[in-house]
Amino acid sequence: MGMVGGGRGAFIGGVHRIAAAIDQQIELVCGAFSSNPEKSRLSGEDFYLPTDRVYGSYEEMILKEKELPLGERMDFISIVTPNHVHFGPAKMALENGFHVVCDKPVTFNVDEAEILVKLVEETGLIFALTHNYTGYPMVKQARNMVKNGRIGKVRKIVVEYPQGWLATKVEDTDQKQASWRTDPAKSGMGGAMGDIGTHAENLAEYITDLKITEVCAELTSFVEGRRLDDDANILLRFEEGARGVLHCSQIAVGEENGLNIRVWGETGGLEWHQMRPNTLIVKQLEGPNVHYRTGVGNLSDAANHAQRIPAGHPEGYLEAFANIYKNVAACIQHRLAGTQPTKLERDFPNVKDGLRGMRFVEKVVENSRGTEKWTKL
Amino acid sequence: MGMVGGGRGAFIGGVHRIAAAIDQQIELVCGAFSSNPEKSRLSGEDFYLPTDRVYGSYEEMILKEKELPLGERMDFISIVTPNHVHFGPAKMALENGFHVVCDKPVTFNVDEAEILVKLVEETGLIFALTHNYTGYPMVKQARNMVKNGRIGKVRKIVVEYPQGWLATKVEDTDQKQASWRTDPAKSGMGGAMGDIGTHAENLAEYITDLKITEVCAELTSFVEGRRLDDDANILLRFEEGARGVLHCSQIAVGEENGLNIRVWGETGGLEWHQMRPNTLIVKQLEGPNVHYRTGVGNLSDAANHAQRIPAGHPEGYLEAFANIYKNVAACIQHRLAGTQPTKLERDFPNVKDGLRGMRFVEKVVENSRGTEKWTKL
Amino acid sequence: MGMVGGGRGAFIGGVHRIAAAIDQQIELVCGAFSSNPEKSRLSGEDFYLPTDRVYGSYEEMILKEKELPLGERMDFISIVTPNHVHFGPAKMALENGFHVVCDKPVTFNVDEAEILVKLVEETGLIFALTHNYTGYPMVKQARNMVKNGRIGKVRKIVVEYPQGWLATKVEDTDQKQASWRTDPAKSGMGGAMGDIGTHAENLAEYITDLKITEVCAELTSFVEGRRLDDDANILLRFEEGARGVLHCSQIAVGEENGLNIRVWGETGGLEWHQMRPNTLIVKQLEGPNVHYRTGVGNLSDAANHAQRIPAGHPEGYLEAFANIYKNVAACIQHRLAGTQPTKLERDFPNVKDGLRGMRFVEKVVENSRGTEKWTKL
Amino acid sequence: MGMVGGGRGAFIGGVHRIAAAIDQQIELVCGAFSSNPEKSRLSGEDFYLPTDRVYGSYEEMILKEKELPLGERMDFISIVTPNHVHFGPAKMALENGFHVVCDKPVTFNVDEAEILVKLVEETGLIFALTHNYTGYPMVKQARNMVKNGRIGKVRKIVVEYPQGWLATKVEDTDQKQASWRTDPAKSGMGGAMGDIGTHAENLAEYITDLKITEVCAELTSFVEGRRLDDDANILLRFEEGARGVLHCSQIAVGEENGLNIRVWGETGGLEWHQMRPNTLIVKQLEGPNVHYRTGVGNLSDAANHAQRIPAGHPEGYLEAFANIYKNVAACIQHRLAGTQPTKLERDFPNVKDGLRGMRFVEKVVENSRGTEKWTKL
C-alpha cells in the first residue's frame, strides 16, 4: 500500500493505516503524505519507511513505484486527502495500473466521478471507496435480513446522522478538519451533505438494496458566515414505493457521530445505531423485539465474515473500517494468484457507489435552492 | 365530571377516568357513555352511578344537569368520543355554562375549531384539550430549559411518533379503535396525522415555544385500501429561523408508542422519549451529556408541580394525563372560590392549541396533495 | 377504606391513597391520619372527609366504625405508619373483623409477625402486605415464565436494591422519612435491610418460587453515627441448589430506586429493572435476547391482569401499587357477594410473606454479627 | 515480537496479534505457535514468517533468537498458551534477557507466580500481563477520577463478570477453549475464577487503588460433571473499610461478556460496562448523572492516551488490548534509546498484578471449601 495524504496532523490517514494493519495482510510500503515534501519526509520516518519510498508528490510516487518490480512495488494506493485531491491521484493510479482505495466522497464533483467510473470499467482495476459504516457486521446482517424477506417489502426508511462538532465557527480556529470541510473550493458543493450525508445515503441504499429516486430537501447553514450547509433535512422517495427521511447535521450540539437507521417493511423492522454497533434490533408484526448481537452465532455469513472476536467483546469503528481493507487485500491476493474472490470478499463500496453519492449531493443541493418540490435523481 | 362517550369497549374513556381519579379531586357524577342508551346505562352501573345520572345522550345530560343545583350538578364535561363527535357536546356544554375537557384533535375540521375558540373566548369557560404528552414532568422541564436559555437560540427540532399497530388492515377486523380512526367520516382529513401527528406538532411547539410557519409534506397510505394516511414525513419551518422534521407512522412495525423529540440550540440540546419519560437528556457545547431525572430535586417548579413521587419510582402515561385533570380541577376550584389559579395550575393545552392542530393537519394534507414545496400555516 | 397514618407530611400514605383511587373501586371513607388529633383533623379536610369520620386514634376508628352499619362502615383499614405502629392497628382490626392492607415490613419484629399470621388464619380475614414491586406486570410475567419452565431449573439469582438518599446523615436534618427509618426503636433491627432488603428478598422468592434457605451476610453502617445498617451484601442459598447474591444500599450515591433482578436457569435467563418496569429481557441458550414489553399482547394472563393501557404507554410505580389494591378490592367484593375470587385476584403479598421478611432480616442481622459462615432461615 | 502458542484453532493468539499490529509499532518476527511442530510451521506460513523463524518449541525459539544480532532478534515474547504453559516460557525468556507479554492468569499456581515476580525484579525486564480490560480509556478515566477525589472516600464496590458460554457441558464437544479451561490440570485451581474472576478482581483494584484484604466466597460447579467452578459469589473487604461484592459466572445463560463495575464513594459514584466501553457514568450527591464519553475532550491524560479516534467512533476490545502492547512497545523503545518512559507509558498490568490474582483465586477457593467466614489475603 502506498498512501496519498495522511501526514502529520491529519485525521483520517491514521484511521486508514490502522484499518489496513489490523488484519496483518497489508503493509504500508511507500507514501506521498503531504503536498509539503518536508512534511511528507517526516511522516515517512514516523512510519519507519525507507527514505527512498517517501515521495514529494503522488505523481512522483506513482511513476517511481511503477518502475519497481512486481512484488516489491506497492499494489494499490490509498487516497486520504481532502475531497478536491481525490480525483488526481485516483485517475493517475488507475491509468498506471494501480488499484485504488479512496476516501469518500469519491471526488469533488459529478463530472470527475463519471470519469473515474469509466476508467475503472476500462482498466478492470479494483476501486474501493471507504464508506466504512457498511463494514459493520450488523449492517451486513441488516442487508442480509432485508434481502431474505425478514421484514417483507420495505415501506419506510429513516436514516439520521447528527453531529455537533461544527456548532460554532470552528473553521476560524486552527482546526484543520473543519477548515477544508467548510471550504467550497476543497469540499465541493456539499458541506455536511458531502461529509456525512453521503454516508447516510449509502447506508440506506446498502441495507435496503433500494435506490433513492427523488429528493425534497432543505439545506441550512446555521453558523453565520459559513459557506456550505451544516444541516440537512430531506424527504426521500425510493424505488418500489418506499418513502423515507434523511437528516444530518453538524450543528446538533452534544451529538458525537450518531449515524443510525431504521427500516420498516410490511412484516418487520430493523434498527441500527453506529454508536452501539454490535446490536441490531429486529422488530416483528407479532412478538417482541429481538436484539441480535455480533458474535452470538446465529448471524448470516456476511456478518460473520465481518467480525473477529466472540460475543461481548465489542468491535468498533476501526474494525469496520478494516473490513474494507481486508476485502480489498483478499481481492488483490486473488488477482495475484489468479483465483476468484468470493462474494463476501467482493463486498465493499466501489466507484459506482461514489458516483451515486455525488449525484445525490448535487440533486439535494439543486432541490434545496429551487422551488420545485421533488427532484429526480 | 360528566362524561360523554367512554362506555364499555372504549379505550380512551377509561384513561380519562383513571386520570381524573388519581389525584382524588374529581368525581365522576354522571355520563352519556354511548349513543346506545342501553350501553350507556350498563356503563353507568360499572361506575356505580345512580341511574338518574346516566343519560341517553349528551344533549339530555347537559340540559338535565343544568337544572340541578350548583354543587350537585357536574362542574364540567369530559368528551372522549371519536373526533366527529367532539364539536357537538363541546359547543352545547359551553353554551350552557359547563367547562370542557376534550380529547384531541379538538374537532373534525378547522371550521368547527374556530367556532369553539370563539365560544370559549365569549364565555370565559375553561377548555382543556388532552394533549396529554405535555403533561409529563420532563416535557415541562424541557420547555422550562428552552425558555431559560439553557440551549441558546433554537436551531433544529426533530420530533417523531412511530407506531406499528396499523401495519396491517386492522380496520377490517373487529378493532373498534382502528375502524373509526381510518374512516374519513369519523376521523377527519387526517389519519395518522390527526391521531398522532397533532401530538407531535403540539409537543414541538410546547417545548420550544416556537410556532410552525411552513410545512412540506408527504403523506402515504401504505396499507392497501386504507382511505387516510398511515404515514407522514414532513419538513418544518419554525419562527425565528428554526428548521425541523416531523415524521409519524402507524405502519412502523414493532414500534409501540414511540413519541420522542430532540431540540438543538446554539449552545445545547435536549432529548426526550415518551417511553422513557422520567429522563431528560441535556447536551452541552462543552462537556458530557447530563441525564436529568424526575424526583431528583434539581428540576424546575413546572416539573416538580407535575410529579407525585420521589426519584426512581417511575411515573408514566396515566400520571401525565392526570396532570391535565389536576390543573383543570384546580382552576375550577379557584373559580368556585373566587381565587386566581397560579401559572403552574393554568398550564394545560387549550382550545387554541386545538385550532392550531387542526390547521396543521389541514395544511399538511394540502401540501402533500399539491406540487408547491412549502405551504404556509 | 379507613387509613391509619398518612397525614400531612407523610410520604407513603399519599401513595396508598392514589393506588387505592386509580381503579375507582375503593373509597377513602375515614381515617386516623396522625397520632396528633389536630393533624389528623386537618388531613381529613384535605381528603374531603366528614369530620365525624376523622378519628384521633386508630383504636377510636376501629371501634366507632364497627358500630356503623355494613355498607356504610369501612371495609378494611390501610396501615401506612412507621414499622413500630403496624402491629397495633393490624391486630385490633383483625380482632374486630376488618380486613387489612399493611405497608411493609409487616411488623417491628418476628414475634409480632407470628401473632398476626395466627390471627389471620383464625379470622380468615384478608391481609395484604404492600410489597408493591411484585405488582408490576413484568414481574408477574417473569414469575409465570419461571413456572412454565421457560428458563429451566433455576441456578443463580442476583437481586439488587441500590439507593443513595441516605449517603449523608440526612436523619440529622428535618427529613421525617430518614429519621424514623434510621431509628432502631421505630424501624426494628434492620435499617436498609428492613426498608428495602425485604423488598429484594420478596421479589426473588416471588419470581422464582424458591425459598431462601441460608444466608451469609455483611451489614455495614457507613455513615458515622448511624445506628442501623445502611448497606448490605449477602450470599444466598435457595431451595433446590440455587445460589444467589442480594445487595442493597442506601448510601449508593446517585442511585435512585434501582431494584433489579436477574435469574439464570439451565436453559434461559430473565432480567428486570424497576426503573424500566415495562420491559422484561429474556435470554436464551441459543439465539438472541428478547425484550418483552407490557401491552404488546403476547404476555401471560397474570401480566395482562396487571396492566391497564396498550403498549408504549408507560405504567409505573403507582399502577403497580394499585394492582395490590385492585386485587384486595376484588377479593372483598367477592366476600360481600359470596363468590370466589380468581387465582389472579388472589395474587398479592400476604401476612406470611411478611413473616418471611421479618425472619430474613433477623437471620441476616444475626449472621452479620456472628462468625458462622452460613445461617439457616 | 515472538509468539508462544496461538497457532491455527487458537482464539486469544489472534487477539494478541491484532492488538500488537494496531499501532504499527510491533512486528511479529518469529514464533513457536504450537507444541505440534507441523502446526507451528503452518501457522508461521499464515503469518508470512520466514521458515527459519518458525520454531518447534519455545525453548528452541528463545535459544535461537538469542543468537541473532540485536535489532534483528525478537525484542520480547508474547505468551498466549493455556495457563499451565505460561510459567515455562516466561521463566526461560526472562532468564535469557527477553521481555515478556503474558496472557492471564499469570501462572498455574501461586508458587510459579512468586518465582516470576522474583525473576522480574532481578532482571529488571519488562513483564506485561494482559489484563486487557484495564486498557479501556474509560477504565483509566475511572481510576483517575477516584484518585482525584471525584467520588470521595470509596465505600462500596460491586464488580460482576457474567458469561453464559459454559452453561452446558461444552467441554464434552470439540470446543478447544472450553476443554482446557475446565481441566484442573491445565487451568489451575480456579475455573471461572481463574478465567474471568481474576479480571474482575484486577479491575476493581485498578480503578479504586484499594487492595482486597478478605474474602468470603461460594464457588459452584453447576454443570454436572464439571471439575472446576463455573460460578462464584464473593463478599469482599477492601483496605480502608470499603466493602464489596464480586460475582462471576460462566453459566449465566444469554450473557456475553458482561464485565462491569460500580463504585460508590462518600460523594459520588462511577459505573462502567465493558460491553458499552466508551461511556463512564458519573454519579453525584446532588445533581444528575453525567455520561462521560471517549473522545469528547474533557477526559484525563490517562484516558486520552488510551484512545485513537474522535467521539462517537466506537473503540472496543481490540483497541483496549492494543493499549497494553502500545505501552510495552513504548517502554521497549525507551530502553533501546536509553530514555525514560512516561508514567502513562508505564501503565500496564505487570507480574505483581499476576501474583495478586493467583493469591486471590487461591484464597477464594480455600474459603469456599472451608467453614470460616472470612479468609485473609
Band (pLDDT 50/70/90 cuts) for residue C215 is: very high
Task: Dump pLDDT digits (tens) for C87-116.
Answer: 999 999 999 999 999 999 999 999 999 999
The predicted pLDDT at position B144 comes to 98
The predicted pLDDT at position A165 comes to 96
Q: Which residues have C-beta within 8 Å of that of residue B196, sequence separation ≥ 6?
A: B161, B163, B248, B250, B259
Q: What percent of chain C has pLDDT over 90?
A: 95
- A84 in Cβ contact with A108 (< 8 Å): yes
The predicted pLDDT at position A177 comes to 87
- A169 in Cβ contact with A181 (< 8 Å): no
Cβ contact C233–D235 (<8 Å): yes
CA distance A128 to B84: 58
Whether residue B89 has pLDDT greater than 80: yes
Residues of chain D found within 8 Å of residue C243, distances taken between Cβ atoms = 218, 220, 231, 233
Same domain? For A116 and A151 the reply is: no
Q: Which of D129, D146, D166 is where one domain is finished? A: D129
In three-state secondary structure terms, B130 is: coil
The predicted pLDDT at position A130 comes to 97
Helical ranges in C209-349 per DSSP H? 301-305, 317-337
Which residue is closest to B132 within chain C, CA to CA? C313
Same domain? For D111 and D151 the reply is: no
Task: Dump pLDDT digits (tens) for C297-354.
Answer: 789 999 999 999 999 999 999 999 999 999 999 999 999 999 999 999 999 999 999 9
Same domain? For B292 and B164 the reply is: yes
The predicted pLDDT at position C147 comes to 98
Which residue is closest to C370 within chain D, CA to CA? D373
Q: Which of C107, C129, C151 is where one domain is finished? A: C129
Same domain? For D168 and D280 the reply is: yes
Give the DSSP per-residue string, A18-78: HHHHHTT-----EEE--SSHHHHHHHHHHTT--GGGB-SSHHHHHHHHHHSPTTTS-SEEE
The predicted pLDDT at position B11 comes to 85
Residues of chain D found within 8 Å of residue B290, distances taken between Cβ atoms = 288-291
Q: What is the DSSP letter of B249?
A: E
CATH code of C256's domain: 3.30.360.10
Give the DSSP per-residue string, B20-74: HHHTT-----EEE--SSHHHHHHHHHHTT--GGGB-SSHHHHHHHHHHSPTTTS-
Cβ contact B18–C22 (<8 Å): yes
CA distance C28 to C49: 8
Same domain? For D257 and D360 the reply is: yes
Cβ contact B283–A247 (<8 Å): no
Task: Dump pLDDT digits (tens) for C150-191.
Answer: 999 999 999 999 999 999 999 999 888 898 999 999 999 999
Tell whether B343 is covered by a domain. Answer: no
The predicted pLDDT at position C174 comes to 83
Nearest Cα of chain C lies from the Cα of B206 at a distance, in angstroms, of: 20
* Residue with grid cell 449508593, as numbered in its chain: C252
Band (pLDDT 50/70/90 cuts) for residue B10 is: confident
Tell whether C300 is covered by a domain. Answer: yes
Of B93, B89, B71, B77, nearest to B30 by C-alpha is B77
Residues of chain C found within 8 Å of residue D247, distances taken between Cβ atoms = 158, 245
Task: Dump pLDDT digits (tens) for B124-133.
Answer: 999 999 999 9
CB pairs under 8 A between B and D: 32
Which residues, given as ranges, of chain D have pLDDT below 70? none
The predicted pLDDT at position B372 comes to 97
Nearest Cα of chain A lies from the Cα of D258 at a distance, in angstroms, of: 7
- D325 in Cβ contact with D18 (< 8 Å): no
Could you count the other beta carbons within 10 Å of the beta carbon of residue D138? 26
CA distance A47 to A50: 9
The predicted pLDDT at position C297 comes to 75
The predicted pLDDT at position D10 comes to 82
The predicted pLDDT at position D54 comes to 97
Which stretches of chain C sit within 8 Å of chain A by CB? 282, 286-293, 296-298
Cα Rg of chain A (Å, integer): 20
Q: Which chains touch A (3 or more CB pairs under 8 A)?
A: B, C, D
Give the closest of D282, D288, D293 to B296, CB-based.
Answer: D288
Q: Which of B129, B164, B195 is where one domain is finished? A: B129
Tell whether A69 is covered by a domain. Answer: yes
Same domain? For C207 and C235 the reply is: yes
Band (pLDDT 50/70/90 cuts) for residue B9 is: confident
Tell whether D225 is covered by a domain. Answer: yes
Band (pLDDT 50/70/90 cuts) for residue B298 is: confident
Could you count the other beta carbons within 10 Å of the beta carbon of residue D322? 29
Which amino acid, residue A375?
Answer: T
Q: Which residues have C-beta within 8 Å of that of residue A91, sequence separation ≥ 6?
A: A115, A116, A119
CA B279 to chain centroid, in Å, comes to 21
The predicted pLDDT at position C11 comes to 85
Start-to-end CA distance of chain C, whole Å, equals 35
- B364 in Cβ contact with B215 (< 8 Å): yes
Start-to-end CA distance of chain B, whole Å, equals 35
Residue B52 lies in domain: 2-129
Tell whether A315 is covered by a domain. Answer: no
Same domain? For D208 and D286 the reply is: yes
CA distance D273 to D295: 17
Residues of chain D found within 8 Å of residue C254, distances taken between Cβ atoms = 264, 268-269, 282-285, 289
CA distance D79 to C232: 41
Whether residue C286 has pLDDT greater than 90: no
The predicted pLDDT at position B94 comes to 98
In three-state secondary structure terms, A333 is: helix
Residues of chain C found within 8 Å of residue B163, distances taken between Cβ atoms = 312
CA distance C98 to C94: 5
CA distance A106 to A258: 22
Same domain? For B88 and B194 the reply is: no
CA distance C311 to A334: 53
Nearest Cα of chain D lies from the Cα of C195 at a distance, in angstroms, of: 19
In three-state secondary structure terms, B352 is: helix
**ipTM confidence score:** 0.96
How many structural domains does chain D have? 2
Mutate to test the interface with B, among D291, D293, D299, D300 (most CBs of B within 10 A): D291
Nearest Cα of chain B lies from the Cα of D286 at a distance, in angstroms, of: 8
Residues of chain A found within 8 Å of residue C298, distances taken between Cβ atoms = 286-288
Nearest Cα of chain B lies from the Cα of C275 at a distance, in angstroms, of: 6
D152 φψ region: left (φ > 0), alpha (ψ -120 to 50), beta (else): left
Cβ contact B256–C21 (<8 Å): no
Nearest Cα of chain A lies from the Cα of D290 at a distance, in angstroms, of: 13
Same domain? For C226 and C247 the reply is: yes
Tell whether C292 is covered by a domain. Answer: yes
Q: What is the mean pLDDT of chain C?
A: 96
Task: Dump pLDDT digits (tens) for C53-99.
Answer: 999 999 999 999 999 999 899 999 999 999 999 999 999 999 999 99
- Give the neighbor-by-neighbor strand order of the sheet with D127-129: D30-32, D2-4, D76-79, D99-102, D127-129
Band (pLDDT 50/70/90 cuts) for residue B242 is: very high
Residues of chain D found within 8 Å of residue B292, distances taken between Cβ atoms = 288
Same domain? For B112 and B156 the reply is: no
Q: Which chains touch B (3 or more CB pairs under 8 A)?
A: A, C, D
- A76 in Cβ contact with A100 (< 8 Å): yes
What is each CA distance from B214 to A243, B190, B210, B276, B375, in whole angstroms? 21, 18, 12, 30, 5
Residues of chain D found within 8 Å of residue A274, distances taken between Cβ atoms = 312, 314
Same domain? For A226 and A361 the reply is: yes
The upper half-sphere exposure of residue D6, i.e. CA atoms within 13 Å in the direction of its Cβ, equals: 28
Which residues, given as ranges, of chain A have pLDDT below 50? none
Of B372, B374, B359, B365, nearest to B211 by C-alpha is B359
Tell whether A110 is covered by a domain. Answer: yes
Same domain? For B209 and B239 the reply is: yes
Give the closest of C22, C24, C277 to B47, CB-based.
Answer: C24
Mutate to test the interface with D, among C219, C238, C373 (most CBs of D within 10 A): C373
Which residue is closest to B157 within chain A, CA to CA? A252
**Mean pLDDT across the stretch C255-277?**
98
The predicted pLDDT at position C217 comes to 98
Cβ contact B309–C255 (<8 Å): no
Task: Dump pLDDT digits (tens) for B302-312.
Answer: 999 999 999 99
Tell whether B292 is covered by a domain. Answer: yes
CATH code of D102's domain: 3.40.50.720
